[in-house]
Amino acid sequence: MLKEAVDSSLEHLRPWLPWAHELPMPLEATVELLRGFRGQFDLGQEFVYAIFSPDESEAIGGTGLHTRRGEGVFEIGYWIHTSRAGEGFATEATAALTRVAFEVCGVERVEIRTDPENAPSLAIPRKLGFVEEGRLRNAAHGRDGTPLRADSVVFGLLRAEFTGTPAASVALEAFDAAGRRLL
């Protein structure tokens, strides 16, 4: 099912999803990718999540809190399969992760970087109260550091700005590994 959800519709996202350069992958490689995500999660290095349909019968996308921007900062990334685009899944996931970043993890800043040509992706941080901070030219690179000549629009939200944003009011339940409620 993951292979079906991550098919050629991701072609335009390859500069933004470093692991997508090898897609579609054989099952064994997909299992290793997921194991790596799980290991990084358990070590507190990266927090990658799948996005499922409401009935949980289909993987429709992915999201994550990424630590690549330094201490006290998370970057949120997201993608949705084209067949489910426009249904609000990425907005809902981004709002939830924004709350978790500030209220559970205690970071000072959350960033979102997106392709300036991707209007639906640009709309998400705007809807949630993020501030558009600027455009980085030729900022995306391949896994090996090769420039991909892709620009990036940077959005940021600071802890002090979070209260009162649409992201702060999203309904959310969050639990730790022992099942204790966090939010």
* Digit-coded pLDDT (tens) for 29-54: 777 878 888 888 888 888 988 888 89
| Mean of pLDDT values over 138-163 | 84
Please check whether residue 174 lies inside any domain of the structure.
Answer: no
Give every CB contact of residue 100 below 8 A, 6+ residues apart in sequence.
65, 172, 174, 183
Please check whether residue 65 lies inside any domain of the structure.
Answer: yes
Task: Please tell me the total count of domains within the chain.
Answer: 1
pLDDT reported for residue 110: 98
Please check whether residue 16 lies inside any domain of the structure.
Answer: yes
Please check whether residue 111 lies inside any domain of the structure.
Answer: yes
Share of the chain above pLDDT 70, in %: 83
Weakest-pLDDT range from 58-62, 64-68, 144-148, 163-167: 144-148
Q: 90 is in which domain, residue-wise?
A: 2-169
| Mean of pLDDT values over 82-111 | 95
Q: Cβ of 69: how many Cβ atoms within 10 Å?
A: 16
Q: How far apart are CA 124 and CA 95, in angstroms?
A: 9
pLDDT tier at 60, thresholds 50, 70, 90: confident
pLDDT reported for residue 2: 41
Please check whether residue 119 lies inside any domain of the structure.
Answer: yes
Give every CB contact of residue 143 below 8 A, 6+ residues apart in sequence.
18, 21
Please check whether residue 181 lies inside any domain of the structure.
Answer: no
Please check whether residue 183 lies inside any domain of the structure.
Answer: no
| Mean of pLDDT values over 92-97 | 96
Please check whether residue 146 lies inside any domain of the structure.
Answer: yes
Q: Domain containing 58 — which CATH number?
A: 3.40.630.30
